[in-house]
Amino acid sequence: MEKLQQLKESRATLATEMEGLVSAETRSEIQIARMNELNTQIEKLTSEIEVLERSFKNSQFKPVAKNDGLTAEQREIAKSFSFQKVMSAIESRTSLSGFEAEMHDEAKAEARSFGGVVKGIGVPMKALDAMIQKRSMTAGTNNAGGYGVQTNVNSYISYLWNKTFMSQLGIVPMTGLTGNYSAPKEGAVTGAWLTETGAASDETPTLDQLLLTPKRLAVFIKVSKTLAIQSPDVADAMVMDMLMNAQATLLEKAVAKGGGTNEPTGIISTTGIGNVAMGTNGGAPTYAKIVDLIKTVSAANAAGTGFLTTPTIASKLLVTEQFTGTNGAPVNQNNTIAGYKLVASNNSPSGLTKGSSSDCHAIIFGDFSKVKVAQWGGLDLVIDPFSLAESNLNKVIVNAYYDIGLEQAGAFAAIKDARDV
């Protein structure tokens, strides 16, 4: 990890030098040559960083010798618990029994730990973990069921995270919380050089609190009633994929923007992040403006780790020259900009309004490790077998609890009016 940090610091130093050259109104041939040299060095460092990051990530997911990779408790849960049994019980209007009833009681206890209430059928996190581990047995090479994939974090959340841009940008979830989450945010501290006998003022840090509280994330999925006659493994896999895809979409939108009614406050809706504008009515993104994002974050004493934007703008930057009229390198070079990773997602903000334009997109730059995503408890399933009965469907409302906040607003800057024009 020390070498990885050294490489990142070296890249940041080169990027700062590049920023100064890009900002210059005119450039000599020597400066242009230096910029090309810097580009090459930054790209090389980025490649080395990505190799080390992949190596570190892989070290967190090591195969274990057991064929199933489950603990004894997980093995019992995976064997006994099933979404199919829960839906069948609801459809037949019978009470939960056996293992499903036991897991429901555990889910209620989880909810009580953070002040929540299970309104439907509770599925505790330990049951979700076991089900994900069970379906992960195809990992590895053992034909009898694959080698288990042992992780250092919550399995269900890891599986969900891998469906999102959060995993690509280094956002790490905080899971299994009880009660509200709060952490101090340190403000600016000033000081001064004094004479031998000069009086020093008492400079006490200004401390602010990042407070995250459970917010209900509800997703609606429609499940065919024929699942009730399928094998439990097929039914569970289908339900799990549907609810995870829906959760992943809503979480991504909330992290990037949020700020709507009952929503967590996402990056571009947070007060205090940097802002770089393209124009009165927005405009096509340029390399100089994107470098301004990097400078804005650097000026806040933060070190950005990557960019987030939409596929539309990522594609636009593939055909946008770094320096107009030079027929030179594009802004987007193999999904990197100025040596920083560029991630494109359809859930990055788009359709934003600026002046007379309503087709604006966001380009976000910052230190994504400063995004805090908190998660509480398991799932609360409310199953309605009646309202869509004519279509042979069950309506399933899945409730989960999350919140999102920035540890340091100044670690981010955004263009909110980039257009594909």
3-state secondary structure of 394: strand
Give the number of other Cβ atoms within 10 Å of residue 391's Cβ.
11
345 touches 252 (CB < 8 A) = yes
Six token digits for residue 130: 């076991």
Six token digits for residue 347: 């859930």
Q: DSSP assignment of 331-352, as one string?
A: SSSSSEETTEEEEE-TTS--SE
Q: Are strands 215-224 and 393-406 parallel, antiparallel or unpaired?
A: antiparallel
Six token digits for residue 201: 């003022």
Predicted TM-score of the model (pTM): 0.76
Six token digits for residue 131: 């089900």
Residues forming a β-bridge with 306: 341, 366
Residue 372 is predicted with a pLDDT of: 94
The CATH topology of domain 60-184+209-421 is phage-related protein like fold (3.90.1690)
Residue 417 is predicted with a pLDDT of: 97
Radius of gyration of the chain (CA): 25
| Residues whose CB falls within 8 Å of the CB of residue 196, separated by 6 or more in sequence, listed in order | none
Residue 136 is predicted with a pLDDT of: 54
Residue 50 is predicted with a pLDDT of: 76
Measured CA to CA, the distance from residue 164 to residue 348 in angstroms comes to 11
Residue 363 is predicted with a pLDDT of: 98
Helical H segments across 201-343, by residue range: 232-256, 287-299, 311-318
Q: What angle do CA 163, 167, 172 make, to 5 degrees?
A: 125
Backbone angles phi, psi at 198, to 5 degrees: -65, 145
| Chain length of the chain | 421
Residue 49 is predicted with a pLDDT of: 80
Q: What is the mean pLDDT of each run of 10 residues along the chain (421 residues)?
A: 76 81 76 82 81 61 46 74 75 77 89 88 85 55 33 61 87 88 68 76 67 93 73 73 87 94 95 96 96 95 94 96 79 94 96 97 96 92 84 86 94 97 94
